[in-house]
Every structure is written in structure tokens, then in C-alpha cells.
Chains A and B, each alone.
Chain A
Amino acid sequence: MNNLWTVMSFTMKTKLRGKSFLTMTILISVLLMVASNLPYLIDKWSSGGGAVKVGYVQGEQAEIVAAVDRYLGTIEEPKVALVPIEAPAGAAERSAAMRQAIEDKRIKGYLEFKPGQDGVFPSVTYLSKKVFTGDASQQLQAALLAAKNDAVVKDAKLSQEQLARLTAPVSFDALQLDELDGTGKTEQERDTAVLLTYVVLILLFMSVMFSGQMIASEITAEKSSRVMEILVTSVAPLQQLFGRVLGTFIVAVMQLIVFVAVSVVNLSLPHNKVSFASLGIDFGSIDPIMLVSAVLLYLAGFFLYAMLFAAIGSLVSRTEDLAQAAMPVTMITLAGFYISFFGLNSPDSSFITICSYVPFFSPFLLFLRIGLAEPAWWEIALSVAILLASILAIGWLAAKIYRTGILMYGKRPTLAELRRAMKAYKV
């Protein structure tokens, strides 16, 4: 027990002192800082640059232009602004004048009206050097539609009341039904859950991969530098293995806490609240069960993969061979990660349900299902039971492999060689 603690604290100390750990933590923290401010920054930049200035020939289609302008006036932050340009008559001269205006940076592009097919409303073309951004294009289209409605409705001689009813927006909401108590998740809650799932999946994947690779490469490094020979004569292999995994785990958790703290602090800055709210995300609506299951599944996933990587690290004698040897486990991790990303769009599909019982995938997929689908309690229990059983089985097997592998040098052993060696070493 004492030695377990010694190995653990040594593992932690060497990692925390290492330059790579510090660099990595700072780098990812900065990335997170940028990412959590991204919606705000995008808002700022796209509106900070002001609305896209769209030119039109002064005097042409005055009614439509006036209606469009009116519509844009009702929007809080219009992405489009109309700019009248004086242009001489004649198609060629007109287009030359408009191009000149673009060159002079007075406008980004301009509108050209041609007689429409129905004869009532002209067809409109936007001409510019750069592609129209989505928001601005949508707004302009909506504005033109409003202008058309105006034009049509005016002839119908509707009352103000009728007019208001006609133009009132349709209220549309998607609601997720909850089988248990009949309360549903609002779209906002759902969006938030998707985002949280997304973030947790990425964190789980990165943490598992980084820590796993780190554990494997340290074991291999100890083998290739032959420190292992002294270590095995000083401390029982099991204590060594678990001490290392636990030490790495604590460091990984510390790192995660830094990341989460950075994100939470940044997300709760006042300017970000508005930006996220406009994206339909409200962090207050996060289901606490999701957070608890995120923590528990992270634990499970970490130890499952850490053991696998440790076993592989113990089989390889040279660091150069490690990546190749770790390939199968890396592939499994990647598979779990990608399946769960596929599952973000269809968390209820039977493929996802089946995969969530596979222990290597369940840390990813069970979380996804808890967050986005509504698995029955026995489904969760079964999945967790399989996962825990496999962690024990893999831990036991990894310990056996580790015990044997750390004394084997030379080329990577085949399965048969490994079995023979296990017998020879009596493990």
C-alpha cells in the first residue's frame, strides 16, 4: 500500500514538473478560452463590420426599395443596409457606375431588378465580388418577400388587423417527450444537451487517448531505459501498474478541472450569456444526471483504456514500435468516438443501442443515450454492469500481461509466445 502511494506520487510529480504537461495544459486552456468566446466573437465581428452595404440605383423600383428598407428597420441588428447610388440611364452605364461604387468601397454589391415571371414582382439579382454570407442573404430575401407581400396585400385592401394577423410569425417548437413523467425537454434544453454531449465526448476521447498513450509510452520508456529491471526488484508489478494508472488519472483529472474551470469562467462572462442564449443554449437547463453520468463514465472509460494501454506498453521494448502496437486500441477508441458522433444525430437508432452494450464503446455511447435518448433504467444498468465486469477482466488480464511483458525484451511477442512466457514466469 505504501509503495502504491510512492509510485503514485512519483508519477504525478514527474508529470506535473514536465514541460510537455504544462505546455499542453496552457495551450488547450487558451483554445478553450477562444472556443467559449467564439459565438460572441463571431457576433462581434460580423456585426462589428457593420451591415453589408448593398447598392441600388436611386429612383429605381422606389416602392420595393422603401418596403425593404422598412423591413430592415424592424430588425434589431440588420445585416444588410441599402445604399442609393446615382447612376445614369442605360444598362451599360448603370452597371459601370455600380462597379465603380464597389471599387470605391461605397458598397459591397448591388441589386439589379428585372421583370419577374408573374409580371407583378420583379426578379432580383445581387451582384458582388464576394459571396454573400448566409445571414445577410437570408435577411435580404426575407426583406424582399416582405416587400412583395406588401405589394400584393396593398391591392387586396385588407384591414390593419388582418394585415397584422397575416404577417405574424408562426410559433414552432420541437419538444422531446419524456416517457417517465410526461415532462418534455424544450428545444433549448435539447440543444444544450447536444452541446454538452459533444463537449463531454471530446473531453473523454482526448483524455483517454492522451493519458493512455502517456501510460503506454512511459512503460515502454522504462523498459527501453532498463529502469524497469530495478523497479521490478523494488515493487510488486501490480502496485507499480496501479500506482502509475492512478497517478496519471489524478493528473488527468487535475488537467480536466483546469479545462472545465476555464470554460465555465469564460462561459459565464456576461457578454457570452447573450451570445449563447441567441444560439438557443442555456447552461442553467443542464440535467444534473447528465453531469453525474459524465463523471462516472469518464472514470470507467479512463480505467478501461488505461489498463489496455498499459498492457500494450509492457509488451514493446522500443518506443518506436509502440505506435504500431497500440494501433488496435487506438482504432477501437476512434471507432467509439466516431460512432458516438454519428449517434448525435440519431441517438435512438438500434445501432447505437446495440453498440452501447459493447464495453469499449459504452463510455461514449451510454453517455450519449442518457443525454439525448431516454434509455430505460435496466438498459443503463446492463450497460454499466457489462462495462464494470470488463474493466475488472481487462484489469486482471492487463496485470498478467504487464507482469510478463516487462521482463520480455527483443521483438514484440506473438500471442503464443506471450502465453508460453506467462507459464514460464508462473503468473
Chain B
Amino acid sequence: MNRLVVQQIVKRYGDRTAVSGLSLEVGEGEIYGLLGANGAGKTTTMRMVLGLIMPDEGKVTYFGKPYSRELLRTMGYLPEERGMYPKIKVSDQVVYLGQLRGMSRKEADSSLKRWLDRFEIPEHYDKKVEELSKGNQQKIQFIAAVVHRPKILVLDEAFSGLDPVNVELLKATVKELRDQGTTILFSTHRMEHVEELCRNITIMHRSRPVLQGAVKEIKKQFPMERVILSADHDVNGLDKLPGVSAVVRNEQGYEMKVDHPEAAQSILQHALKQGPVRRFELKEPSLNEIFIRTVGDRHE
């Protein structure tokens, strides 16, 4: 039995349906990606998983059991819109949140100190949150979500608003938590993070799950249709080749769209006839493209 099982949940607000018929399962030591445009129902789903609101239909089980208040202590939540008490010391509020989740003051304090060391900001222990930079506030927020060592962690847009260095730091931390066995439900707009972190994903669109499964499997469903070519010389007549539907020339070379993977081979042969080729790649579609295509298709 997986740790977190969501079965056919439905949530309606009045006559508007926020989530409709979503199911997913997340195991121990797994990061599950929840993707979708704004208003697709990600936050509502997460709120149902957290037990803040009850689904109208379907159910959520944790460790095989239905929701109960005691479960809160095993869960951590990083909300999309960050919030801490601006005028209260970091130590005071993180320890407070840890205590609310069943830790003793001492445990919470030492856990906080460990995390501050991990993020290399131990000097912020005694500072007020409003005195910190935005990136450091985000780190504190993250610590507040994990200070009590949750078994199920819900991260809503965990990396938004961070600089690349901090994104890497946080990403490494999330992977560490995963390797320690934490079950993580993860939502984002940034597809590159999903490809790197998530085993399974759900793409939601207008309250419905439109694409679900393992990232590798999903990618296989979409044909490889992008070809990258760069050579030291100009390559002529690419657009006349059969099966090539679009050619874009950029600084590094050419980017083409092909109707079927075999057409790529004829591009390579064609280019080689005109001179040496520095780079040739038949690219699998990125999640970004898959996302745009899946969600974009349904816009009509």
C-alpha cells in the first residue's frame, strides 16, 4: 500500500468544479509532480491532501488510513504564497510551528539549528524575518515546513522566486529528503525541475487530470520530432526534404520539426553531403513541450 493514495476526488465550490476525478498514489521516497496552469486545481488538490478541506467525492488515505487530526504531525506544507510572522524572530516562530506539530521545544530548537547550518545561515537564528533577504526568508519557510521531520511533505511551487544558486541548494535538499524516505507531493510550473525530480506526474487542466504516469513513459508516448543540427557551413535545401515541416535558423545552427523519426536520418545524410557536421541530435520532447501541447490542445 502506498503512503499517500488519492482516489477519484471531486471538489466543487458552488457550481464551479475545482477538482474532478483525480486519483494518484505516492510511495515512500518518491516525489510526485502535480503540474498545471494557474487555476487548474493544484492548490485545491493539495488542500484536500492536507485535510484543510474535505473532498465532496472520493477519498484520500494516508498509510492506508483515512484522515485524522493526528496525521497532521506527520505532514509538512510549504504553501505557494509564503508567509511568516514578519516581526517575530526566526527561532521563536519556527520553534512554535514545530511545537504545534508535536515536538518539544528542545527538539524543535535543535532541529532548527541543524537546518540553519545545512543552509549555511546560522546567524539568522536570532533575526526577525522582515530583516532577511527574500531568498533567506524562503529558506526559513522551507525549514518551517520540514522542521518536524514530516513523512508526507507537500511543496507548492517550492522554488519560485529563488536565484539559481538557491534553487540548486533547495533541490539537493529535496532529493536528500526523498532519499531519506519522505513522500513528497510537488507542484510547479517549471518543467525542468519536474524532469529532474519526479518519478510520476499528473498534468491537470481545468480541474481534470489530462495526462498521468511516469515521466519516462509519458515522454515515450510523444514522438521524437525535433532535430538539432549545427555545421561549420551553411546547409541548403533543408526545407525541401520530405518529412521536414519547419526549419528555424538560429545562432547555433538549425532546428527542425520532422513528421516521423526516419526523416531525421535523411536530414543528416543531406547535411553530410555538404560538409562536416558538428552536432546532430534527434531530441525527445521536453516536458515543457508536452505540457504546452497537452494543455494548449484543449484550449480550443
**Could you list which residues of chain A lie within 8 angstroms of chain B, going by C-beta atoms?**
2-3, 6-7, 10, 13-14, 18, 222, 225-236, 407, 420-421, 424-426
Contact = CB atoms under 8 A, between A and B. Distances in A.
19 contacts: A2-B102, A10-B92, A14-B88, A225-B83, A225-B84, A225-B86, A226-B79, A227-B83, A227-B85, A229-B81, A229-B83, A234-B97, A407-B52, A407-B53, A420-B13, A420-B14, A424-B12, A424-B14, A425-B53
Q: Which of A6, A10, A230 gathers most chain B CB within 10 Å?
A: A230
Nearest to B101: A234
A222 B53 CA distance: 19
A229 B77 CA distance: 8
Contacts of B12: 424
A228 B144 CA distance: 13
Contacts of A234: 72, 97, 100-101
Nearest to B13: A424
A61 to B, nearest CB: 74
A425 to B, nearest CB: 5
Contacts of A13: 92
Interface string B137-151: 000000011000000
B52 A227 contact: no
B60 interface: no
A3 B53 CA distance: 21
A231 B77 contact: no
A230 B99 contact: no
The 8 A-B residue pairs with the shortest CB-CB distance, nearest first, are A226-B83, A234-B100, A229-B79, A225-B83, A227-B83, A233-B77, A226-B81, A235-B100
Contacts of B145: 230
Contacts of A230: 77, 79, 83, 97, 144-145
Q: Number of contact residues on B: which range applies?
A: 20 to 34
Given A6-B100, A233-B50, 16 more contacts: A2-B102, A10-B96, A18-B87, A225-B85, A227-B84, A229-B77, A229-B79, A230-B144, A231-B100, A232-B52, A233-B72, A233-B77, A407-B52, A424-B12, A425-B54, A426-B53
Nearest to A3: B100
A338 B26 CA distance: 61
Contacts of B79: 226, 229-230
Contacts of B77: 229-230, 233
Q: Which of B13, B84, B100 gathers most chain A CB within 10 Å?
A: B100
Nearest to A5: B99
B184 interface: no
B75 interface: yes
A424 B101 contact: no
A225 B93 CA distance: 14
A7 B97 CA distance: 10
B69 interface: yes
B52 A233 contact: yes
A235 B50 CA distance: 12
Nearest to A426: B54
Contacts of B102: 2
Contacts of A407: 47, 52-53
A235 B73 CA distance: 9
A420 B12 CA distance: 11
Contact of A236 (B53, B69, B75, B101): B69
Contacts of A425: 53-54
Contacts of B69: 236
Nearest to A228: B83
Nearest to B55: A426
Q: Which of A18, A229, A407 gathers most chain B CB within 10 Å?
A: A229
Interface string B40-60: 000000010011111000000
Given A230-B83, A233-B75, A233-B77, A6 B53 contact: no
Contacts of A225: 83-86
Nearest to A407: B52
B82 interface: yes
Nearest to A404: B53
A7 B101 CA distance: 12
A385 B47 CA distance: 41
Nearest to B77: A233
A3 B102 CA distance: 8
A234 B52 CA distance: 10
Contacts of A222: 83, 85
B100 A7 contact: yes
